[in-house]
Structure 1
Amino acid sequence: SSYTRYSPDRPMTATNLGVGPTVGGMVLAQTIEALACVGYMDTRFGRYGHEHSDFSIRFLRAGFGGVRCRVGDELHNRFYLLDSGIKLLDAISSSSHDDLENNARLLNELQKEPVYRTPWCNEEEMVEFRAEFGSGFSEMNDPPFKEKTFDIDSYYKKHEDVYLSGWDAFAHYVENGIKESRDL
């Protein structure tokens, strides 16, 4: 790896992790539990630079992937490292000096904010985010049954064939009953 290691030079495995002060944004692995705590990458970083640093530091702040160590009056990061078997190749970067400087400043400011980030910061980003999922995502906002309770007994009484089939009444209604215009 091209990143500084604080642990001895040895293979870093899931049962014998390494430790380092930084991680790259090429390969970050998270669990569902960790993502539920920190949310999404912060869209305020825009084009290039430090978005993965913020993401990784928020995992540390939430108790995942390493620890934060106090050195005098400063907090230093210690990330757990793992050899991935992926070889990094040099590539032409799309970075700019201004992007890196602005995002470095933003990275420092965001350390005072809560750990969790939503997938958007404004209405325009929300519309763009939801559009990526196609029409099915917006249909979640308009569910097929809007009432607070579904009367299973009533549905079975009106539709004995559903009862005899062994279907769960509500599952049948969502999967078939709506298309078949069955009464509730």
Structure 2
Amino acid sequence: MVVEFGREPFQKRLGIAVTTFNRREMVLELVAKIRAMTTSPFDLVICDDGSGDGTVEALRERGEVVVSGINRGIAWNKNRGIYYLLHTCQCDVVLLLDDDVVPVCRGWEQEWIVAANAHGHVNFVHPIFHSRVIMGENKAENPGMCTMLNGCALVFDRLVLAQIGFMDTRFGRYGHEHTEMTLRAVRAGYGGVFLKAPEGGSHLFKVIGGGLEALAVDGHGSQAEALANDAIMASIRNDPVYRHAWREDQAMAVFLAEQDEALSALGQKRPYNKNIFPSLEAYQRFRQEQGIDSVDSSLAFLIGDTMPSLIEEALSEGQRAVAVEPDAKLYYALAERFADAIAEGRLVLENFAPAPRGGEIAMLTPRDGGRPYPVATISWGELVAKHGRPARVHMAAEIPGFPTMTG
């Protein structure tokens, strides 16, 4: 697949994700420098991997968006930022920064935007690897070609991420996750080249300086963790290029809950982004392809303006029903009428009229003279992940992103 990148890169929306762990003062200073020296419009999210030094609280006091959770390692933490920038902010350029690199000049980000527009993906040339650059000028127009990577700063165009996905969460806490993602980008045609040779060949990776300086700080990882991840990298080298931000349903629920909590802290919710970057839908297709997502013949979904007769029909046929009722008053009436079936687990009522959290696809139902209004914020993928894949679906109205069948 050949992707044609735009001719006007400065019109693209930039997103910056900073990953951090127990470096409160360092990340506060970095965020201040980003805000002072960035001249293009941008979105910023800080991804905290379970810090215990007050990092999250200090950042939120300054009004920053922070996605946080328990310590799950570098891959999971960077995925927090990728997902937020793609789904919530709808960014075109995603720039990932560790907390130990800082901008040193105004307009530093423009080099990264140009590089993403021209090449799809490039990495930062760390000073320790300058001697590994065998050609090029380390600039967006003529990136260096380097034999080694550090991973403290890297940028992707969203069209590249649509092809390769996220960092692989099978990696442990430290080591190789960024290199493995770049290798997948190269396989897809971005960010470097593979030079074939009789002995197996080697890679050259595109790198730039990008107005950043790497700080000399002690790392959090250990050699043992890096070696363990080295073995993982070897074992997954030939897996499909696309990777999801999670590996199973439980991990998906945890991951999305972290996103919700980050926005809830700001009094917001995950927005309705129709067909913007369908990570959840891609995950559900993967489940089907792997035979994980089998249809539950006893399950029925009844969605939108749910009628008592439909519920009674499903229950009388021995089906387990999930009824999604957008109207709060009707929801409570149904809850009272079918209290026994709910207590027995034969009926689950869902009500999203108050929109308790955001989702990938909003359900819309005509009301007040046919004017659509949002009554739910949950995707088909999330609904299936929560309850199972139904054999029967009844919908009162067409819902973007949901199956068109009724029954």
Q: 1:98, CA displacement in angstroms?
A: 1.8
Compared CA separation, residues 23 and 44, structure 1 to 2 (3 A): same
Q: Which moved more, 1:130-139 or 1:49-58?
A: 130-139
Counterpart in the other structure of 1:62: 188
Q: Whole-Å Cα distance in 2 between the matches of residues 120 and 79 of structure 1?
A: 27
Between the two proteins, the alignment pairs up a number of residues equal to 155
Q: Whole-Å Cα distance in 1 between the matches of residues 135 and 253 of structure 2?
A: 45
Contact in 1 for aligned 2:171/2:229 (Cα 8 Å)? yes
Q: 1:117, CA displacement in angstroms?
A: 0.3
Contact in 1 for aligned 2:168/2:245 (Cα 8 Å)? yes
SS of the residue 1:28 aligns to: strand
Structure 1's consecutive aligned runs of 4 or more residues displaced over 3 angstroms after TM superposition are 135-139
Q: Whole-Å Cα distance in 2 between the matches of residues 33 and 97 of structure 1?
A: 34
Counterpart in the other structure of 2:373: 174
Q: Whole-Å Cα distance in 2 between the matches of residues 141 and 64 of structure 1?
A: 28
Q: Whole-Å Cα distance in 2 between the matches of residues 73 and 124 of structure 1?
A: 42
Larger radius of gyration: 1
Pairing partner for 1:140 from 359, 369, 374: 359
Pairing partner for 1:19 from 141, 145, 155: 145
Counterpart in the other structure of 2:287: none
Greater relative CO, 1 or 2 (CA 8 Å, sep 6+): 1
Pairing partner for 1:7 from 135, 141, 165: 135
TM-score normalised by L of structure 1: 0.74
Q: 1:141, CA displacement in angstroms?
A: 6.5
Q: 1:100, CA displacement in angstroms?
A: 0.7
Counterpart in the other structure of 2:311: none
TM-score normalised by L of structure 2: 0.35
Cα deviation per residue 1:10-37 (whole Å; 9 max; x = unaligned)? x422212210112221110100111011
Pairing partner for 1:104 from 230, 238, 258: 230
Gaps of 5+ in 2: 1-126, 271-356, 376-396, 398-407
Gaps of 5+ in 1: 160-168, 179-183
Q: Whole-Å Cα distance in 1 between the matches of residues 254 and 179 of structure 2?
A: 24
Aligned amino acid, residue 132 of structure 1:
E
Structure 1 residues 55-94: aligned runs within 5 Å: 55-94=181-220
Compared CA separation, residues 142 and 58, structure 1 to 2 (3 A): closer
Counterpart in the other structure of 1:162: none
